[in-house]
């Protein structure tokens, strides 16, 4: 849809994504931005061999461990008023044949950055490669950019939505950029104001996700009030 609108030269003025954002009560939190997601698959090459003859092999686990420890300890940035600091986390690590007496020939590590607007994919890639190169590793690294960060500063949309939430629920909502990625990262490319707001996310990504039926009526009312606030 975004590519189609871009091809037509169409830009949106404002957009509300119906992502579930509420935490304890409907309307207590909305998202005015999201961190970017950058994943990497690192393969560190060694030489497989018998564990009793380590001089005839090169253990990629031993070779990579200092570099991985350094990456885990790096302060990538300090975030800003809207975003927490960029984080780097390993999600999977694998090496070996399953035998206890074989030095593996390769180590594979999956990792992910959740990064703020203080960083760019290019700067993060450069810093990772610099660490790996400094440790003299023989490696390959494949990158996947899942999405870039976006941010909607306080403005007409957040004020209209905040007023609608107060009128319907009595709550003063909290602006937040925590959590995963969403479709907002695509829409932000053609829209200067993107905010996510929806029902409670207590069951998000769990078996039998659910939405409280009692929240549907006030949720509809908040959306309607927001439109009224923007158009009047």
The DSSP symbol for 86 reads P
pLDDT of residue 180: 83
Q: Please, how many CA atoms are within 13 Å of residue 157, restricted to the half-sphere of its CB?
A: 21
Residues in the chain: 232
95, containing H or E segment: strand 87-95
Model confidence, pTM: 0.83
Q: How much of the chain, in percent, has pLDDT values that exceed 70? A: 100
Tell me the pLDDT tens digit for each residue of 9-52. 998 999 999 999 999 999 999 999 999 999 999 999 999 999 99
Q: Please, how many CA atoms are within 13 Å of residue 61, restricted to the half-sphere of its CB?
A: 10
């Amino acid at each position: 849809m975004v590519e189609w609108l871009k091809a037509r030269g169409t830009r949106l003025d404002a957009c509300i994504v119906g992502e579930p954002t509420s935490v304890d009560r409907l309307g207590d939190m909305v998202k005015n931005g999201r961190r970017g997601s950058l994943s990497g698959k690192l393969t560190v090459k060694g030489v497989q061999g018998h564990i009793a003859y380590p001089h005839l092999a090169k253990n990629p686990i031993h070779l990579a461990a200092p570099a991985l420890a350094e990456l885990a300890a790096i302060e990538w940035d300090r975030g800003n008023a809207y975003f927490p600091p960029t984080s780097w986390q390993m999600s999977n690590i694998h090496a070996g044949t399953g035998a206890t007496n074989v030095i593996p020939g390769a180590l594979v590590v999956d990792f992910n950055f959740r990064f703020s607007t203080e960083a760019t994919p290019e700067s993060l890639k450069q810093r990772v490669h610099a660490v790996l190169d400094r440790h003299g590793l023989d490696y390959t690294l494949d990158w996947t950019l899942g999405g870039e960060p976006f941010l909607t500063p306080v403005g007409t949309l957040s004020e209209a939505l905040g007023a609608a939430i107060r009128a319907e629920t009595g709550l003063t909502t909290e602006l937040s950029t925590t959590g995963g990625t969403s479709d907002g990262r695509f829409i932000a490319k053609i829209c200067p104001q993107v905010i996510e707001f929806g029902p409670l996310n207590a069951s998000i990504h769990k078996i039998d996700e659910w939405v409280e039926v009692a929240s549907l009526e006030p949720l509809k009312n908040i959306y309607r009030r927001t439109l009224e606030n923007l158009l009047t």
